[in-house]
Amino acid sequence: MMNGNRELDSMVNSSHSVNNLFRNGTMNLNMLHQFDSTGTELSMDVDYTHYNSTNNQLFGNNSYNASGQALGLERIRGIFQEQ
């Protein structure tokens, strides 16, 4: 980052790590039955969908002054689960 005189004031080094796991599934069932020759019929459609996601995240920010001395370390962890 620069100060008002456009001189180096501080630096920030950011990193992140993400681990994703997706488990998805879909099932479809179709049936048709004809009862007689007159065209009478019965049909059935069944659909099923399952969605599951887990998302773990880790963000890190290291702050330094213009001389390269460490000013601070910040870690943010996020865990997202949907079932």
Q: Provide block-wise average pLDDT over 10 residues at a time, the chain (83 residues).
A: 83 80 85 86 89 78 88 80 55
The string of DSSP codes covering 28-62 is EEEEEEE-STT--EEEEEEEEEEEEEEEEEEEEEE
pTM above 0.85, yes or no: no
| Count of C-beta atoms within a 10 Å radius of residue 71 | 11
